[in-house]
Amino acid sequence: MTDVEETPLGLDVDPPDLPFWPTVRHMAALWRPEWKNGTAGIVAAFATTALSLTITKLVQLVIDHAIVPDRPDRLPPLVGLIIVLALIRFCTNGVRRLTTSRIGINSEMRMRRMLFVAYLGYPRAFYDRHATGQVLSRATNDLYPVRYFIGWGVVQSIQSAMMIIGVSAVLLFVNPLLALSAGIVMPLIAYLTWRYRATADAPPPCVYWLLDPQGQRVGMAAAIFRPYRVNGTRVQTAVIGDISVDASLRGQGLGQILLRSMTAHLQQQFPRHPALVIPTESARKTLATVGWQTGGALVPLVYVLDPAHYVKRWLHSETLAKCVARCVRGAERLWVRRHVPRNGTLQLSDTMEDALLRFAQRLPASPGVVRDLGPEFLQWRYAQHPRTRFTFATFKRLGQIRGFLVFEATSMEGTCSIYDLVGETADDLRAMLALFVLRSLATPGLATLRILLDEQHPGRAQLRRLGFIARAADAVFQVRDVAAPQAAWHITQGDKDI
């Protein structure tokens, strides 16, 4: 993580969290004294994995050599061998669990001792900055996840890796063609599993297929229910996506049949659930005829970090363009710094921390219709995304989280795209964005910041104050709102079909 601003006390009493690899190095030092238990646990995990693969092979022999050819005389030795190996696996698995629990308990005791020794040596400013409950929580509740990871998680991860490698080797040995087919299909299956995952209180996803007279599938659409807040009340909303029709059959009205049927089914089966779609122009016209209303336009707001590319067209001189761009960037820094609070910091992380999830859980209700940015959704949408790696920027005042934004910097070269942003107040939102702009101005190779918002989004005013420029609308969104027909919808790039 990276701090943009220094602490107001001038003392290092609130240092940034360590990045991933330094954290691994420090945790490895905690694991080193437990090398005997660790070695025993890894050996037991290897034995458990080998026995599991052997039992699977024996089950295959039972089916192929005893059941299919109807040879019951071959069953007793094979079944007996399976039972013996299962009992041995029970013992090795017990040894693995025992050693990992010892590693976790011993490491937790060692970390707690180190933490309390450190507490005794911290300056008074540390306790002025951090709440008492937070300090105690670090030495109690926050150590439990570390204990489980060091103890159970490391060995279990090694065993899972061994199982994946072993299953792949066995599958290649038994049927190479089947192994190749599975390897090609598995990434797609993983993505679709993530894509269509539903929350516990949501209706199951609905997939609508369009069939030709021969029964062949020539078009589809999907409705996946996601949690939204309608004037503060959590409501499962049907987010429409994956709309497609066979390219050779387009222009024949088949898309209209598909979307009319989908709308009729939603009205009949889910009359109390609103729906949202960001359609193509042809789909927008069809949906408008069956009761869908245009909720607004999606407008990109862009902050120019490096204007050299733009002014070069007018000045026809690269050297002169760089000089002008340098002056503009200096003016931008001066303007943005006016909105940076002295007691504010911005920390970046590649992982979503528990403190951020707790902040998201206690966010106050917003008027209108907004996506429910609770921990479950944030984990699914950003932390567990199978293709894109997002970065999380957490804004703090005096050590307390007051806002966060989610961005990724690889979708377009030289562009950083902001997907979601939240602040407790308008001032917090503006201060967080100001710190983020300063950080972006200091990032080499970054030319623009980009964020997609609806026309009525409350964050637009703060973006415009900082110098973001509104471009032409990218798209519109349509809604079928039965819960609050007059409520305003607030949409970001995080709502777009993925």
- From CA 270, how far away is CA 236, in angstroms rounded? 10
pLDDT band at 205 (very low <50, low <70, confident <90, very high): very high
pLDDT value of position 9: 39
pLDDT at 95 over 90: yes
pLDDT in tens, 103-142: 888 888 888 888 888 888 888 888 877 778 778 877 777 7
pLDDT value of position 14: 61
- From CA 84, how far away is CA 476, in angstroms rounded? 64
pLDDT at 410 over 70: no
Mean pLDDT, residues 418-428: 91
pLDDT value of position 482: 65
pLDDT band at 264 (very low <50, low <70, confident <90, very high): very high
Q: Which class is 206-290 in CATH?
A: alpha beta
Least confident span in 83-87, 372-376, 450-454: 372-376
pLDDT value of position 15: 65
Mean pLDDT, residues 196-204: 87
Burial of 364 (0-12, 13-18, 19+ CB in 10 A): exposed
> Does the predicted model carry a pTM greater than 0.75?
no
Strands 233-245 and 415-423: unpaired
pLDDT value of position 412: 59
pLDDT value of position 221: 93
299-495 matches 206-290 in CATH topology = yes
Least confident span in 46-50, 135-139, 302-306, 379-383: 135-139
- From CA 369, how far away is CA 228, in angstroms rounded? 7
Range with top average pLDDT, 39-48, 160-169, 309-318, 345-354: 39-48
CATH 3.30.1490.190 fits 299-495, yes or no: no
pLDDT at 8 over 70: no
Mean pLDDT, residues 162-170: 87
Range with top average pLDDT, 4-13, 238-247, 305-314: 238-247
Mean pLDDT of the chain: 85
Mean pLDDT, residues 234-241: 92
pLDDT band at 249 (very low <50, low <70, confident <90, very high): confident
Which fold, 20-174?
Answer: ABC transporter transmembrane region fold (1.20.1560)
pLDDT value of position 280: 86
pLDDT at 498 over 70: no
Contact 391, 348 (CB under 8 A): yes
Q: Give the domain ranges of the chain.
A: 20-174, 206-290, 299-495
pLDDT at 80 over 90: yes
Least confident span in 350-359, 447-456, 477-486: 477-486
pLDDT value of position 12: 53
pLDDT value of position 314: 74
- From CA 241, how far away is CA 374, in angstroms rounded? 22
pLDDT at 11 over 50: no
- From CA 42, how far away is CA 376, in angstroms rounded? 33
pLDDT at 6 over 70: no
